[in-house]
Amino acid sequence: MARDGCAQVPEGPGHVKDRMQVETTATLRGMECVDLTEVVSGDGAGREQAGLRIARSLERCGAVVVQDPRVRAELNDAYCDMMQRYFAQSAECKMRDARPELNFQLGVTPEYTERARDNSEYIAALSAEDRPVAATRGLDPKWRFFWRPGASDNVVPAAFEAEWRNTMDEWGFKLQDTMMLVSSLLAVGLGAEQDTFERMLQGGPHLLAPTGSDLFEIGQKMAKLGKDEALASPLPLAGFHYDLNFLTAHGKSTHGGLYIWTREGKRVPVSVPPGGVLLQAGIQLEILTAGRIQRGYHEVIALPEVVQRVVRECAENRACGWRVSSTVFGHIRSDQVLEPIEVCAQEEAASRYPPVQAAVQVLRELESIQLAPSDPVS
Ligand SMILES: [Fe+2]
């Protein structure tokens, strides 16, 4: 009922809470959940210990979960609720917010636009039970919205003028602050000066980047398949990939479905606890640490049992059938040269990471996932 136009956006608390518990599997595989309450209280206590745990977790799993007392679950819920109402608008309405001339780096990116880059070599080396749901490079069926917290040139959707900027900025800055704090603790944990990464991140093109996937519509398609076929068909919402930035901070999504790969190539389901933040390493962090921390591969899938539950529970309010993610991409400043930092420069793999300007590295990655046109000359 809410899909016909901008004016029919349903109000109210829409989203279905993810009922999965904190990830026990991921913890078993060496992923840490670090409580930053003591660190945030400001007396400096616990910084070194927290930094060591964050570094260890990122080295083993490419990811770490933190509890930051500044990140409140209610704020995440309010943000997810607004994003569900936004994505529930018609495609025509949402496309008014698309900026293809900016490589979709502001405003909305339509479904079936992004294509995960070719990681077939990595996938081929995985054991059969650790392969992603979709090993081929299909186009992702997810919508996305890019928002630069605090920037004046952002796209504000017409039907949301009263609430959009405040909600996006408030939540975006919360996740950004956590990402910055974790970056300073990580530097300590790696044995570097604590502002090593923060200095490079200041002024970076950080993005709040919620994704939206219509689980209700996917459920209708699955229903046509027949039960057995549908249950055997988990659907990739975001194909197997790594992130092109430094650290990605995930608040809790509405319906779960995130899987990550550990350093050993083990596929692990992850659910972010209420008020928690999952941070995953992007390739910029791999370059800066000369591979001591490696890019974190991941995929997002719609499990048939989740989709079936959504179809049952959201027949009346279609907005709550949208899976919304709660994500900030932390980026190194564009003019910064990416190369191994001093404490990692002696790593065996350091020569594999020749210096590259962050702006150039990002553009190459955008070309490979089809968000920027390829340079016909190179
Ligand atoms: Fe990602």
> What digits encode the pLDDT tens for the residues 92-146?
999 999 999 988 889 999 988 877 777 888 898 999 899 988 766 567 788 999 9
* d(CA 205, ligand 1 centre) in Å: 16
pLDDT > 80? residue 16: no
Find out whether 186 and 55 touch, Cβ atoms under 8 Å.
Answer: yes
Find the mean pLDDT for residues 269-276.
86
Pair of tokens at residue 275? 């008020």
| pLDDT classification of 231: cutoffs 50, 70, 90 | low
Report yes or no on 341 lying in a domain.
yes
CA 41 – ligand 1 centroid, Å:
31
In a domain, 378, yes or no: no
Whether 356 maps to a domain, the answer reads yes
The domain that holds 126 is classified in CATH as 2.60.120.330
Average the pLDDT over 256-276 and give the result: 90
List the domain range (segments joined by +) for residue 171: 6-368
Domain count, the chain: 1
How far does residue 43's CA lie from ligand 1's centre (Å)?
34
The CA 42 to ligand 1 mean position distance, Å, reads: 32
C-alpha 55 to ligand 1 mean position (Å): 20
Residue 188 lies in a domain: yes
Over residues 42-95, the pLDDT tens digits come to: 777 789 999 999 999 999 999 999 999 999 889 999 999 999 999 999 999 999
Query: Has residue 376 been placed in a domain?
Result: no
**Do 265 and 127 contact (CB within 8 A), yes or no?**
yes
Q: Is residue 141 assigned to a domain?
A: yes
The two tokens of residue 91 are 């495609």
Instruction: Note whether residue 377 is domain-resident.
Output: no
Contacts 24+ apart (CB under 8 A), 345-354: 345/290, 347/289, 347/290, 347/291, 347/292, 349/290, 349/291, 350/290, 350/291, 352/290, 352/291, 353/286, 353/287, 353/290, 353/291
Whether 17 shows a pLDDT value over 70: the answer reads no
Distance (Å) of CA 348 to CA 161, 333, 340, 344: 52, 26, 11, 9
Q: 46 C-alpha vs ligand 1 centroid, how far in Å?
A: 30
Q: What is the pLDDT of residues 309-331, one digit of tens each?
A: 888 888 888 788 999 998 999 99
Confidence (pLDDT) at 334: 96
| Residue 375 belongs to a domain | no
